[in-house]
Amino acid sequence: MDSTFSALRINPHRLQSNFAALSAIGATPEGGVNRPALNTAHLEARQWFRQRAMEAGLDFRVDSAGNHSALLTCTDPAAPTLLLGSHLDSVPNGGRFDGALGVLAALEVLCTVKDFGLTLPVNLEAIDFTDEEGTLVGLLGSAALAGHLTPQDLQSPRGGRDALLDGLACAGLTETGLLAARRDPATLAGYLELHIEQGPRLIQVGADIGVVTAIVGIASHRLAFTGRADHAGTTPMPDRLDAAQGAAAFTLAVRQMVMDEFPECVANVGALHLEPGAFNIVPARAVLALECRSADPSIFDPLEAALLERARLEAERFGLGLEIEFLGKHAPAPMSALAQQAITEAAEALDLRHIPLASGAGHDAQSLAPLCPAGMIFVPSVGGASHAPREFTEWQDCINGANVLLHAALRIGLHIS
């Protein structure tokens, strides 16, 4: 690579001061942030991002899906755009790094290229996608941009229809706008995202950088085991149609089944609600939130089918009914060879130890993967912790990741010409 480019580094002080300022928005007493999509703190964080980008002399745009973008355009009006980004929303009571690091590093790359007066043959865009975390729908802004979003996705979102409508109203967004946010893939040169690993592997093997090979597919269902409310004191045990028994047996079976039959996959029962919900009433209804994940497209559908079949069997075993509500699915996504190569070369040029690894978490990059060369860079998560306030990445690792993002972006950007 040209020596003008190879000596380039991001400004770690500016990145750190931006990180501190952003972390204060929606800060929780436990040291994390609470910025579920389109809540007040999340909207404030987006406002902060806009302000920061404009102060840096960048252009700014918000699309009809609410995706917020800082822009560094090049002189060629026909040039494609290289997207860099992640998300500013968090899970409820989440950590400071998930998503935020990727958006701030993207902004930092644009500022660095601008500071050094470099001319690239691509536009650079630092993008903050709407509702990555799935408080409302999940990968909402990126799916809208990719043109994958369907009216059905908005009818039965996993966070509930009312929450979605309330959030959209607070942010001044509409369903029509979401469904019209598609970008022409011919205008996109690629997508790169820096993210914390959210797992223990990089630290276990002493690597600085993960070159992501693929992102898991995620399927979400709400299951309701239905029985009959009865007096909890007078109804003999064998006569009960106890919905809690079906839900409990299923929850235990999920773990065993995945470990025995789908060892590369995971599944989670993340919420369980009993109705009517009293000490002295046999539960008539047990509603649970089921999610399953696999990075392997040939296993993903069989995994989902096997879990639902197991729910039917457990319902039958306890004489219960079963209602299954499908709440959305994101396909497993391999990352592009071009992006993986650019990230690997960038890590090598920066003398950083790197390994290939698949992502067990969902990311906006999986929405972009079918459209353009998409890739992800992981940096180590201390203790593998994430989606919790104790989520932490050493500052040097954040800087390393941002420099790899910069150099991978330069490689892809220059490759276009």
Please give the Cα distance from 339 to 95 (Å, whole number): 27
Residue 332 partner contact from ligand GLV, Mn ion, none using kind-dependent CB cut-offs of 5 to 8 Å: none
In the region spanning residues 132 to 171, those forming contacts with ligand GLV, defined by CB under 6 A, are: 133-134
CA 334 to chain CA centroid, nearest Å: 15
Strand partners, 359: 215
Residue 128 partner contact from Mn ion, ligand GLV, none using kind-dependent CB cut-offs of 5 to 8 Å: none
Considering the complex, what minimum distance in angstroms separates the CB of residue 31 from Mn ion? 17
Considering the complex, what minimum distance in angstroms separates the CB of residue 308 from ligand GLV? 20
Strand partners, 220: 291
Please give the Cα distance from 96 to 68 (Å, whole number): 19
Reported in sequence order, the residue ranges of 309-404 that DSSP labels E, i.e. its strands, are 321-330, 333-334, 354-359, 374-379
Please give the Cα distance from 373 to 365 (Å, whole number): 10
Please give the Cα distance from 211 to 205 (Å, whole number): 14
Residue 32 partner contact from ligand GLV, Mn ion, none using kind-dependent CB cut-offs of 5 to 8 Å: none
Phi, psi of 263 (to 5 degrees): -65, -20
Residue 26 partner contact from ligand GLV, Mn ion, none using kind-dependent CB cut-offs of 5 to 8 Å: none
Comparison of 243 and 361: residue with beta carbon closer to ligand GLV:
361
Comparison of 100 and 327: residue with beta carbon closer to Mn ion:
100
Comparison of 209 and 361: residue with beta carbon closer to ligand GLV:
361
Q: Are 368 and 85 in contact (CB under 8 A)?
A: no
3-state DSSP assignment of residue 3: helix
Q: Residue 89 half-sphere exposure, CB side, CA atoms within 13 Å?
A: 26
Considering the complex, what minimum distance in angstroms separates the CB of residue 248 from Mn ion? 28
Please enumerate in sequence order all residues whose Cβ is within 8 A of that of 369, keeping only pairs 6 or more positions apart, or say none.
Answer: 215, 333, 334, 335, 336
Strand partners, 127: 69, 85
Please give the Cα distance from 224 to 322 (Å, whole number): 6
Comparison of 63 and 133: residue with beta carbon closer to ligand GLV:
133
Q: Does 328 bind ligand GLV (CB under 6 A)?
A: no
Rg (CA), the chain: 23
Residue 362 partner contact from ligand GLV, Mn ion, none using kind-dependent CB cut-offs of 5 to 8 Å: ligand GLV
Considering the complex, what minimum distance in angstroms separates the CB of residue 142 from Mn ion? 11
Comparison of 133 and 397: residue with beta carbon closer to ligand GLV:
133
Comparison of 226 and 359: residue with beta carbon closer to ligand GLV:
359
Considering the complex, what minimum distance in angstroms separates the CB of residue 364 from Mn ion? 8
In the region spanning residues 332 to 391, those forming contacts with Mn ion, defined by CB under 5 A, are: none
Q: How crowded is residue 19: how many other Cβ atoms within 10 Å of its Cβ?
A: 19
In the region spanning residues 346 to 385, those forming contacts with ligand GLV, defined by CB under 6 A, are: 361-362
Strand order in the sheet with 217-226: 266-275, 285-294, 217-226, 321-330
The contact pattern for ligand GLV, residues 100-139, with x = CB under 6 A and - = no contact, is ---------------------------------xx-----
Comparison of 50 and 87: residue with beta carbon closer to Mn ion:
87
The contact pattern for Mn ion, residues 62-101, with x = CB under 5 A and - = no contact, is ------------------------------------xx--
Q: Are 226 and 322 in contact (CB under 8 A)?
A: yes
Comparison of 246 and 401: residue with beta carbon closer to ligand GLV:
401
Residue 80 partner contact from ligand GLV, Mn ion, none using kind-dependent CB cut-offs of 5 to 8 Å: none
> Which residues lie near ligand GLV (CB under 6 A)?
133-134, 361-362
Chain contacts with Mn ion (rule: CB under 5 A): 98-99
